[in-house]
């Protein structure tokens, strides 16, 4: 499993609009992408920082989304975010939800 973490700064008083856009526009678009598994969004209550983590079946599908659809997502989110979001990618090593355990360490 592969994860994309997008950290962004919200415009003032846009937290509600941010979560509505995720629910009504971005998540439906993500569900149409090959290999998409889940989206987890985090916001600081009353703050201006948000983190969105998308989970993918494999790196190739996340990269395809990143190069084809993510630019559209950035345009859709422009009214609620400031600056350029920071994107990090990860291999998922553990998950209780998806029942992924860390690989044993060789002795």
Between CA 73 and CA 70 the distance in angstroms is: 5
The pLDDT score that the predictor gives to residue 46 is: 83
Q: Are 54 and 15 in contact (CB under 8 A)?
A: no
Centroid of chain to Cα 1: 14
Q: What is the pLDDT of residues 8-52, one digit of tens each?
A: 999 999 999 999 999 999 999 999 999 999 999 999 988 899 999
User: What is the reported pTM?
Assistant: 0.89
The pairing of beta strand 81-91 with beta strand 2-10: antiparallel
- Architecture of the structural domain at 2-91: 2-Layer Sandwich (3.30)
Domain ranges (residues) in the chain = 2-91
Which long-range CB contacts under 8 A does 62-70 form with residues at least 24 apart? Answer: 62/2, 62/3, 62/4, 62/35, 62/89, 64/33, 64/34, 64/35, 65/4, 65/30, 65/33, 65/35, 65/36, 66/4, 69/29, 69/33
Average pLDDT, the chain: 93
Q: What is the pLDDT of residue 66?
A: 96
């Amino acid at each position: 499993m592969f994860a994309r973490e997008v950290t962004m700064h919200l415009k003032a008083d846009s937290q509600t609009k941010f979560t509505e856009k995720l629910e009504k526009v971005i998540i439906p678009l993500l569900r149409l992408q090959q290999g998409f598994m889940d989206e987890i969004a985090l916001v600081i209550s009353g703050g201006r920082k948000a983190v969105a983590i998308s989970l993918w079946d494999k790196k190739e599908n996340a990269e395809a989304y990143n190069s084809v659809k993510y630019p559209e997502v950035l345009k859709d989110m422009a009214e609620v975010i400031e600056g350029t979001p920071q994107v990090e990618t990860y291999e998922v090593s553990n998950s209780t939800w998806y029942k992924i355990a860390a690989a044993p360490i060789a002795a």
